């Protein structure tokens, strides 16, 4: 009980004034932008930044969900495979509905994607909570299941979207509203809703309490099963939203779609300031973390002094430095 | 009661023996390949199954069995399973890895089977009776030659490579040899993991970095799909050619349709497994000796010969 009381007030303060702890990832982001500009002035060109931030939308959206899961003391390794699976199911549904619904099969497909995402999230959640299996193992299992399902659905090849839908659906990734690419708008909206739920609702407080200390939370009358299962549901919905934005980019699902996204997602969450062991989550930090990851990859290509063989090593070093900047800015 | 059981068991045993005898009359060709986990291996599975179906229908005394395995370990087990039940007359194998499969294949060879190795060689080439593979160097070289011709030996190129492996190195080497001595300049070369998404991102970055790009070469068609989307979205008009490699049906279709940006393609065809199965069966039934090394060329696929390389029903 005491832990909950102690951990609740600071969260309330933070929702009114942004403290230093939350600024960490943004300081790292700003530093990266300056370094990038010094290396290659093209880095800050509107086209490049808009490309990169748009690309980071998938990871950012999924990572908002992961912030809930990790904050509540869980982990989800299945998000990359789940994204691929939902993408495949969505495209197949849309293609199948073309003769009946025409271009209306796009919104119908989006609804199916959301439904599939929530179902997948529920599956993960129930295995972890009711089945009482370690999240790492449970979601490692479903990761294999989702990956195998997309491979099966595509016969190992590609599931392309119907040509008649491509042009209708294309703007969801490539379109802009008042000059801002739609995926960026969507990820901002997801993050805004996510931060509202995490910081302003009773559920958000339960989530952090369960992550900080599950036993104490249980003694204070919080249902751990319910709280964690809902976190996985939110994760599934976020993966579905990311998949909805992803489909129009290349217009196809393949067995290699979303490979290793889970690691990028977890990295984004941790760079964003959320501890892997659970506790309070930092939604906007997570979004900044997603952008940082994509910017680093972009910078590797735009700079000339890294051999193509060493790119991954330099990325690793930059991620660690970004974490150190955060640690010392606290 | 007990007596009845014994009679039933004896009858069952007799049936089994009889079944085995009729199966033994057939020549058994086992085909062991990786499971479909990306476009190219999906193509291999498709062509292997097509070959099995065609041959089983055409030659009643030959039975082709196709077994796919998701990993090297699983493939070793699959070999044991295949050869445990009955004597294999031939084995056609596309090994997951050279190291782990060498000894198990040798064990099958020692049982008297004809061994055909496809694509990836074993550590000991003495084991194989027939080796069928594509030509990765030619994939790079023929693409380079085309660009040298079409761009008049002058221009700026960007290249996307796959995953650090021998296949990737050979393609890049062939390409670099192909443009050596011309004024074609490779502005940049980076890994994109044979993945459409990574290629899309990398191409966006190339476009941001270089104001003038004459041609792009992605050494695999999955990556080419990402490249084409990035180029299309950028609205840039300086890129004259975007070429791939491998023989994906979508890209071959572009060649057939006379696409301006992708007018040619180089094959590293998954159908090589079918070629290998047919040759192996020829050796068994046709008294046609086929021992040796067969290197399938990577001829430029153009509008004229594209039909030969177009498999609309294949997943790849």
B171 and B67 in a common domain = no
Residue numbers of B between 222 and 281 with CB closer than 8 Å to A: 222, 225-226, 229, 233-234, 250
B107 and B13 in a common domain = yes
In-domain check, residue B297:
no
Size of interface A-B (CB pairs under 8 A): 94
Give Dmax over CA atoms of chain A in angstroms. Answer: 60
In this prediction, residues B84-105 reach a mean pLDDT of 89
B112 and B71 in a common domain = yes
Higher-confidence residue of A76 and B35: namely A76
Q: What pLDDT was estimated at residue B262? A: 93
DSSP state of A174: H
B52 and B66 in a common domain = yes
User: Which H helix or E strand runs over A88?
Assistant: helix A79-101
In-domain check, residue B299:
no
Which CATH number is B33's domain given?
A: 3.40.50.2300
- Per the prediction, chain A carries an average pLDDT of 88
B116 and B29 in a common domain = yes
Q: What pLDDT was estimated at residue A134? A: 94
In this model, does residue A303 exceed pLDDT 90? no
Highest mean pLDDT among A37-41, A175-179, A184-188: A184-188
pLDDT band for position A212 (50/70/90)?
Answer: very high
Contact A156 B225 (CB under 8 A): no
In-domain check, residue B264:
no
In-domain check, residue B198:
yes
In-domain check, residue B302:
no
In this model, does residue A15 exceed pLDDT 80? no
Q: What pLDDT was estimated at residue A126? A: 96
Over residues B252-267, the pLDDT tens digits come to 999 999 999 999 999 8
Domains delineated in chain A: 18-329 (1.10.3470)
- The single residue listed with the structure tokens 């008294």 is B287
Over residues A268-301, the pLDDT tens digits come to 999 898 888 888 899 999 999 999 999 988 888 8
In this prediction, residues A219-235 reach a mean pLDDT of 94
B113 and B167 in a common domain = no
Dihedral sign for Cα atoms in the order B247, A83, A185, A281: negative
User: Which H helix or E strand runs over A172?
Assistant: helix A171-174
In-domain check, residue B69:
yes
In-domain check, residue B293:
no
B93 and B69 in a common domain = yes
In-domain check, residue B200:
yes
3-state secondary structure of B310: coil
Phi and psi based region of residue A221 (left: phi greater than 0; alpha: psi -120 to 50; beta: remaining): left
Q: Which among B218, B229, B254 is the top mutation candidate for probing chain A, defined by the most A β-carbons within 10 Å of its own β-carbon?
A: B229
Cα–Cα distances in angstroms (integers) from residue A318 to residues A35, A266, A289, A330, in the given order: 11, 16, 12, 19
Q: What pLDDT was estimated at residue A158? A: 85
In this prediction, residues A217-237 reach a mean pLDDT of 94
Give this prediction's pTM. Answer: 0.80
Structural domain for B154, as ranges = 136-256
Q: What pLDDT was estimated at residue A25? A: 85
- Per the prediction, chain B carries an average pLDDT of 88
B124 and B220 in a common domain = no
B227 and B116 in a common domain = no
In B, minimum Cα distance to A47 occurs at B208
Closest CA to A115 of A285, A236, A260, A247: A236
3-state secondary structure of B126: helix
B141 and B122 in a common domain = no
In this model, does residue B44 exceed pLDDT 50? yes
Which tokens hold the place of B305? 């010969």
Q: Which among A153, A171, A256, A297 is the top mutation candidate for probing chain B, defined by the most B β-carbons within 10 Å of its own β-carbon?
A: A256
B161 and B112 in a common domain = no
B112 and B176 in a common domain = no
Over residues B119-159, the pLDDT tens digits come to 988 888 899 999 999 898 999 999 999 999 999 989 999 99
User: Which H helix or E strand runs over A46?
Assistant: helix A46-71
Q: What pLDDT was estimated at residue A247? A: 94
Number of domains chain B is built from: 2
Over residues B217-270, the pLDDT tens digits come to 999 999 999 999 999 989 999 999 999 998 898 899 999 999 999 999 998 889
Say which range, A27-31, B12-16, B146-150, B196-200, has the weakest mean pLDDT.
B12-16
């Amino acid at each position: 009980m005491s832990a909950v009381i102690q951990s609740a007030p600071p969260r309330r303060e933070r929702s009114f004034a942004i403290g230093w702890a939350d600024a960490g990832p943004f300081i790292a982001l700003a530093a990266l932008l300056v370094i990038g500009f010094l290396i290659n002035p093209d880095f800050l060109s509107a086209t490049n930044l808009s490309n990169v931030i748009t690309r980071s939308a998938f990871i950012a959206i999924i990572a908002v969900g992961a912030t809930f899961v990790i904050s509540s003391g869980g982990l989800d390794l299945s998000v990359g495979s789940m994204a691929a699976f939902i993408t495949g199911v969505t495209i197949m549904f849309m293609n199948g509905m073309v003769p009946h619904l025409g271009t209306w099969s796009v919104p119908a497909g989006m609804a199916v994607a959301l439904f599939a995402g929530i179902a997948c999230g529920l599956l993960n959640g129930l295995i972890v909570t009711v089945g009482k299996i370690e999240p790492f193992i449970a979601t490692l299992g479903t990761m294999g299941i989702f990956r195998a399902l997309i491979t099966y659905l595509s016969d190992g090849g590609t599931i392309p979207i119907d040509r008649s839908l491509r042009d209708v659906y294309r703007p969801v990734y490539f379109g802009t509203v008042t000059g801002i690419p739609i995926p960026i708008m969507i990820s901002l909206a997801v993050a805004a809703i996510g931060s509202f739920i995490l910081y302003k609702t009773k559920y958000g407080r339960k989530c952090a309490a369960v992550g900080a200390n599950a036993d104490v939370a249980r003694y204070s009358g919080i249902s751990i099963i319910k709280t964690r299962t809902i976190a996985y549901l939110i994760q599934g919905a976020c993966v579905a939203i990311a998949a909805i934005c992803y489909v129009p980019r290349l217009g196809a699902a393949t067995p290699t779609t979303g490979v290793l996204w889970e690691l990028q997602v977890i990295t984004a969450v941790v760079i964003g300031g959320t501890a892997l062991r659970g506790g309070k989550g930092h939604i906007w930090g997570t979004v900044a973390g997603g952008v940082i990851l994509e910017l680093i990859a972009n910078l590797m290509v735009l700079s000339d002094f890294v051999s193509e063989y060493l790119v991954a090593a330099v990325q690793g070093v930059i991620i660690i430095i970004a974490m150190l900047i955060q640690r010392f800015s606290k | 009661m007990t007596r009845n059981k014994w009679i039933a068991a004896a009858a069952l045993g007799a049936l089994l023996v009889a079944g085995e005898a009729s199966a033994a009359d057939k020549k058994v060709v086992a085909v062991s390949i990786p499971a479909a986990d990306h476009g190219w291996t999906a193509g291999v599975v498709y062509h292997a199954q097509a070959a099995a179906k065609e041959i089983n229908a055409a030659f009643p005394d030959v039975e082709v069995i196709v077994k796919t395995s998701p990993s090297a370990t699983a493939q070793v087990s699959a070999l044991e399973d295949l050869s445990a039940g009955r004597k294999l007359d031939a084995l056609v194998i596309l090994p997951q890895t050279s190291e782990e499969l060498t000894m198990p294949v040798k064990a099958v060879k020692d049982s008297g089977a004809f061994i055909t190795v496809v694509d990836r060689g074993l550590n000991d080439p003495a084991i194989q009776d027939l080796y069928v593979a594509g030509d990765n160097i030619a994939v790079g070289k023929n693409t380079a030659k085309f660009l040298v011709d079409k761009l008049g030996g002058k221009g700026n190129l960007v290249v996307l490579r796959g995953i650090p492996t021998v296949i990737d190195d050979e393609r890049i080497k062939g390409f670099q040899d192909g443009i050596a001595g011309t004024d074609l300049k490779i502005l940049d070369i980076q890994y994109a993991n044979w993945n459409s998404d990574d290629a899309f991102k990398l191409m966006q970055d190339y476009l941001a970095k270089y104001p003038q790009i004459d041609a792009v070469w992605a050494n695999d068609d999955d990556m080419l799909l990402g490249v084409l989307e990035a180029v299309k979205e950028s609205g840039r008009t300086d890129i004259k050619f975007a070429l791939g490699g491998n023989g994906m049906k979508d890209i071959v279709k572009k060649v057939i349709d006379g696409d301006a940006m992708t007018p040619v393609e180089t094959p590293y065809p998954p159908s090589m497994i079918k070629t290998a199965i047919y040759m192996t069966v020829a050796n068994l039934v046709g008294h046609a000796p086929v021992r040796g090394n067969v290197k399938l060329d990577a001829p430029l696929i153009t509008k004229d010969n594209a039909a030969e390389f177009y498999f609309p029903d294949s997943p790849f």
